[in-house]
Structure 1
């Protein structure tokens, strides 16, 4: 009824004092109800968790279930505690088992420790000896490594020794030069031992390497000599191995010079044979035609011979450059000039005989003048290749140039003398005397024909 009165008063918007309000506030039940009603569940997390747990098993809201709620909660709590006790009992049993295992392991470890202690006491002498032997073994290993490093640095391997001490007919390969370079390197490095207390070993190694070097250079020289002797074809290919051989032989000047001489001799034979074939047989298959076929035309005849010699000289210079391209000695250019001069010396006699025959045949002043200029031109051209004027070929070309020039002046003088004979003797003599005094006409001194007849030689 009191609530109804309060609601009616609220509807009339006029507060009506309730005489029982103070009495209700002092009632404990009212205070508890007010406290419950004033509680905000949003901030009470424990209450929310409790209600959430309650909603799991409290599904029916009835009078009976509300009366049995306390008992249900207690029974549920008891079941949870029983489950916890059961699980904890299993954990306890497992821990007891682990404890027993740990105790057993501890007993085993104590037993093993006691056994190891007893074994250590019994094997102490053996351990000392073992440590001593291990230290000795380590020292021996270090000494073995030092000895191996010494042998590697100052001795050749079995393969290198086999390569350097091969048979005479064994071809030279790249491995031979590597082994020879290693011998030279060892011979230089062993000088360090001579400055230490290992002089005996240094002297023995140096002597061994010196003997091995001489043997290797001798074998290399014989191989290079045989290779050079085989270069008798008109066109030869210089192998890279032969070039390396010349580079290695430069450390032995005598062997280097002998090898160059052998190369020059072989190429000289090839050039002479090629020149004779060009004169008499011509090229392969008859093309070009033999030079002797043009002997009726002196200018072309001489020009073809000089052109062939110019080409041959240039080819031989290229062969020598390919042979000595790795040589670093001083005076290599002089050696090349000397060898080219020696190679071309073989063609001097057949060339000179044929040129003399053409010149002495007195082909005429004009043709002699052309031949003189042609010889002078090729003398300058070939000298730029050979590089020296003391070569036999250049000397012969120069000699033929001088001879053709003299024959030209002689032919010109004879021709002028014949013209003078046709003119009246007295008037012509006065006329020539006056003009000679004025310097208008000059005739070279005549040379007797017997001088040129003595220069004729039999043809090869």
Structure 2
């Protein structure tokens, strides 16, 4: 009676054993899979870590490259400002870009002391070429600006003053620009002087100077007064244009250019004063004209110095001529008095008679 029960339990145990073995096999399989997955995951983590490190290295390189470009290269807008076309006006942004070029040209010398000498030389050459292009464009613009300053009233723009400040780094272009300005202003001053002589001011006020040619002292005085005012104005124009220039010799430049500007009026001035003096208006008037010429010679030389040689020489020549004719006239009057009053022995009486004759 116990047989079936025994065999029944044995069957159950075998079934359980099979289930346990199956579970064991499943666990072993799962363990193998987990181990393989762990190995793959670890390899993936290693690769991911390497990629992250590479990414950080590349980002750092990109930052360094961006910083290098920002320090040693111009932006496209800055390049366009410097190159531009001849019809485009010069603005303050142009000078900012030009300052960047100069700064890069100076900073790139640092690269020449490192292992980046090739890059430094290439950048230096690029900036040097860009500088020359920029200065050439600036010179052409400044030259055209000076050529337009032919009106009697001259307005110096702040941009023109900045242009002269920049051009001082190129002495040849700086000198040519001053010559261009002097030529334009010389024509304006000559035209203004002739207009003042023959046409007068706007609306007839003041009246033409030559309307007073019958009054020698006023005629000469009005011409010299106009010239004195014009000389002072031209010096002010040059001071405004060169106010930002820091090189040595600026004052000498101003005096030289003012001398060139006023040289154009020397001939018409000399011809008219000579006509007055040679006409011998009388010893007293000649004496007054001589003193007037001496006064304006001193006054104008105080404005522009002795570099305005042509103008000052002309006034000095007229002063000497007036003195010469004055003494000739005085000598002639003295001779006439001596003929009429040969018995005069007192110098005081002679002088009193001389001035009475005048």
Category of TM-score, reference length = shorter chain: 0.7 to 0.9
Residue 58 of structure 2 is matched in structure 1 by: 140
Per-residue deviation, residues 219-264 of structure 1 (Å, max 9, x unmatched): 0000000000000000011000000000000000000000000000
Residue 246 of structure 1 is matched in structure 2 by: 164
Are 1:124 and 2:42 an aligned pair?
yes
Residue 312 of structure 2 is matched in structure 1 by: 394
Q: Is the 8 A contact 1:341 1:393 kept in 2?
A: yes
Residue 185 of structure 1 is matched in structure 2 by: 103
Q: Which whole-Å CA distance do the structure 2 matches of 1:177 and 1:440 have between them?
A: 77
Per-residue deviation, residues 349-399 of structure 1 (Å, max 9, x unmatched): 000000000000000000000001111111111111111255211111111
Which of residues 155, 176, 183 in structure 1 aligns to 2:73?
155
Residue 151 of structure 2 is matched in structure 1 by: 233
Residue 343 of structure 1 is matched in structure 2 by: 261
Cα deviation for residue 441 of structure 1 reads 7.7
Q: Report the aligned-residue RMSD.
A: 1.9
Q: Which whole-Å CA distance do the structure 1 matches of 2:328 and 2:283 have between them?
A: 8
Are 1:384 and 2:299 an aligned pair?
no
Which of residues 119, 122, 137 in structure 2 aligns to 1:201?
119
Q: Which whole-Å CA distance do the structure 1 matches of 2:350 and 2:106 have between them?
A: 78
SS at the partner of 1:266? helix
SS at the partner of 1:362? coil
Residue 141 of structure 2 is matched in structure 1 by: 223
Q: Which whole-Å CA distance do the structure 2 matches of 1:242 and 1:380 have between them?
A: 32
Are 1:423 and 2:341 an aligned pair?
yes
C-alpha change, 1:165 and 1:116, in structure 2 (3 Å) is farther
Are 1:286 and 2:204 an aligned pair?
yes
Residue 85 of structure 1 is matched in structure 2 by: none
Which of residues 164, 184, 188 in structure 1 aligns to 2:82?
164
Q: Which whole-Å CA distance do the structure 2 matches of 1:347 and 1:372 have between them?
A: 20
C-alpha change, 1:389 and 1:135, in structure 2 (3 Å) is closer
TM-score (norm 2): 0.86
Q: Map residues 10-25 of structure 1 onto 2, 5 A cutoff.
A: none
Per-residue deviation, residues 94-153 of structure 1 (Å, max 9, x unmatched): xxxxxxxxxxxxxxxxxxxxx999854432212211111111111011011111111110
Residue 232 of structure 2 is matched in structure 1 by: 314
Query: Number of residues paired by the alignment?
Result: 319
Residue 334 of structure 1 is matched in structure 2 by: 252
SS at the partner of 2:206? coil
SS at the partner of 1:387? helix
Are 1:405 and 2:323 an aligned pair?
yes
SS at the partner of 1:251? coil
Q: Is the 8 A contact 1:389 1:395 kept in 2?
A: no
Residue 180 of structure 2 is matched in structure 1 by: 262
Are 1:372 and 2:295 an aligned pair?
no
Q: Which whole-Å CA distance do the structure 1 matches of 2:34 and 2:281 have between them?
A: 123
Cα deviation for residue 405 of structure 1 reads 0.8
Q: Which whole-Å CA distance do the structure 1 matches of 2:163 and 2:125 have between them?
A: 23
Q: Which whole-Å CA distance do the structure 1 matches of 2:216 and 2:160 have between them?
A: 43
Q: Which whole-Å CA distance do the structure 2 matches of 1:242 and 1:198 have between them?
A: 39
Structure 1: which 5+ runs fail to align?
1-114, 443-460
Structure 2: which 5+ runs fail to align?
1-32, 352-358
